[in-house]
Every structure is written in C-alpha cells, then in structure tokens.
A = this chain, B = another copy of it.
Amino acid sequence: MGLDALYDELIERLVAACSSHDPERLVTFDRTGFHYAKPDLGLIEWMPTLDLGRRVSIKTVGYHPTNPTERGLPSVLATTSILDTTDGRILALCEATFLTALRTGAASAVATDVLAIEDARTLGVVGCGAQAVTQIHAISRVRSVSRVLAYDADAEVASTLPGRVPVPGIEFELIGASDLAAMLAEADIVCTATSVDIGAPPVLPDGPHRPGLHINAVGADFPGKLELPPTLVRRALVCPDVVAQCLAEGESQVLTEDELGPDLATLVRDRGRCEATRADLTVFDSTGWALEDLVAAEMVLDHAERLDEGVDVELNPVPADPYDPYGSLSP
C-alpha cells in the first residue's frame, strides 16, 4: 500500500480513536520498567492497555542507546502482545519498533495539523536518527513541507538523513550547532528527536522565532531529560499526549498541571477552539501514548489478516479436557 497511504490511514485512525476516546473504556498503566547499567546503560519497559470488553495490548519497549554504534541495531526495539479479554488467549505478537516510530510520527502529525500554521513550509529538525525520518514523513502528510533544516550532534548521521526520507520535493539544509538559533528563527515547525542525556542542557537555544511556531518534542521520555529550554516551554502552549506521563518525564516537567494546554485527545475533539491558538508558540509534548500503540498494532494486524501475512503459531493449548494440563502435549 506504500508508506504514504500507511501514514494517512494511521493518522486517520488516530484521529478517530482520539475523537471517540473514553477514559473509562481505555485503561492504561503508566509506563514502567527495568532501568539498568549492566551490561550497558539501557531499559526495558512495558505499556499495558485495556480496551475494556475487547483486548489487552502490552507493548514492551527496549531503549539501548549504544545499539546503533555498538550493534548496528536501532536504539528502540519493541514488540506488542495482543490478548483477548474473553478468554485470556494471546492473539498476536507484533513487531512494534517500526510501529513505534510510525505512530510517534503520526501523533506529531495529528498535533501539527491542529496547531501549526496552514502554510507551514520550513521544518527544523534536531536529531537526525530514525525518528527524524518518521517525523518529517508524517508531518509532510499534513503540511506541504518544502525545506528541512537538519542538525545532529553527529554530522555523519545528519549527512545521510536526506537519503533516508522518501518524500519528494524537500530541500534539505544540513546545519551546525551555531546555526540552531537561525533555524529557530526561520522554522514554521520544529521537531526535536534526540537521545539527550539526563540533566544535559537543552538541544535547542531559546531565542526569537516566528509567532506561530509549532514544536514537536519527541525525545524526552525520562525524568530529568529535557530537549527544550524551560524558558521557551514556559511561554508556550504545551499540549501533552498523556498528562501524568508528560509531567513526570516530558518537557512538561518544568510545568505544573494547571499550566498545561489541551491534551492530544482534546486537540482532536476541540479542534476548532484549539486551531485558534495557531498564532501562539505551541509545543506538542510527545512521551508516547498507549492508545497510539494499540491503534498502530490493530492497523497492521488488520492488514496482515487481509494480506494473509504473518506467521501462524499455535501457542496457547486447546486441550480436549481443560482440566488436563498434559492434554495438549504431543505424544
């Protein structure tokens, strides 16, 4: 179906899920997990979601920042299990690394479509890894991006970005750290998607910018991790994906709950009212919402079923006698 159509469908499904979002029916646990420094610094976390009366999805996500340089692997690796709440059987195990990148892009596109100015053309990108690709790609589905100003602390990673973004008609300008203030001044939209260290300085300077600048901050996901200057965050309308999570580990860490703008679901539902803020500085604080994962997983499972793709594995036993624990063992 092609990536463009996949983004369009995911954005549409995400908008629909936000519109009909019922916090009584969709129950999520805050992301939690194991954080360790052995063998390397890393973490494995799980994000369980109950779609009441239907399914439970559990995404397990690993973040191992040395993966790209040490192992030729993405830093984020994830899988999602889908279980049936009627009987508890596992229905599917689904690769979620690609889906996580895809849904993070799609979530930014949903927020950007509400909050960015209509004729946004220039996109600033800080951090040129895998997430930059999906941010640029997804945003180009809702705005006519014609120019990307791209910065990465690793100039080699930045240099390969243009070749990794399969969107025609974009002119890339690779910039240095000293050009970030100029980038901020010129951009209509900015995406920060870095692996900033805990307690490290922000990846973007504060300074003059266009009145309607919209920023998608997707990299911070840990207490103490911040991509944006607090001064900038404090004068912006900050829209969290998940309020509690953003206050704990997003850019919203420097704010209190009553200083937050509408969350992602509200942006979609109160679209008209929220579009009125386009003239202001806006920040989408994206820490990753379990709803996004559920929507993305269900989309690919629907396509897998339609295309008869995937591998069928008989995993949970269906014994002749449910009271016989050995009934499903082969002789």
Contact = CB atoms under 8 A, between A and B. Distances in A.
A322 B44 contact: no
A90 B60 contact: yes
Given A46-B48, A98-B317, A323-B129, A85 B160 contact: no
A166 to B, nearest CB: 7
Interface string A293-331: 000000000000000000101011111011111101100
Contacts of A85: 34, 36, 38-39, 42, 44
Contacts of A155: none
A77 interface: yes
A86 B221 CA distance: 20
A67 B79 contact: no
Interface in A43-64: 44, 46, 48, 50, 52-53, 56, 58, 60-64
A130 interface: yes
A234 interface: no
A254 interface: no
Interface stretch (A10-18, A25-33, A224-232): A25-33
Given A62-B87, A160-B321, A48 B34 contact: yes
Interface string A145-168: 000000000000100110010100
A279 interface: no
Nearest to A66: B87
Given A34-B48, A90-B60, A317-B97, A326 B83 contact: no
A88 B46 CA distance: 12
Given A321-B160, A322-B68, A90 B98 contact: no
A161 B325 CA distance: 11
Task: Count chain B CB atoms within 10 A of each CB in A72, A97, A130, A325 and give the residue with the most.
Answer: A325
A37 B85 CA distance: 10
A50 B36 CA distance: 9
Stoichiometry (number of copies): 2
A321 B130 CA distance: 9
Contact of A77 (B32, B39, B87, B166): B87
B71 A52 contact: no
B95 A317 contact: yes
A93 to B, nearest CB: 5
30 contacts: A3-B326, A33-B48, A36-B50, A36-B52, A38-B85, A42-B87, A42-B88, A44-B83, A58-B58, A60-B81, A60-B90, A62-B83, A62-B89, A64-B87, A67-B87, A67-B322, A68-B322, A71-B86, A72-B322, A77-B89, A93-B93, A98-B317, A98-B329, A128-B323, A130-B323, A130-B325, A133-B323, A133-B326, A164-B323, A313-B313
Given A71-B87, A133-B324, 9 more contacts: A34-B48, A36-B50, A44-B88, A60-B81, A68-B322, A77-B88, A77-B90, A97-B316, A134-B325
Interface of A: 3, 27, 29, 32-34, 36, 38-40, 42, 44, 46, 48, 50, 52-53, 56, 58, 60-64, 67-68, 71-77, 79, 81, 83, 85-90, 93, 95, 97-98, 101-102, 128-131, 133-134, 157, 160-161, 164, 166, 311, 313, 315-319, 321-326, 328-329
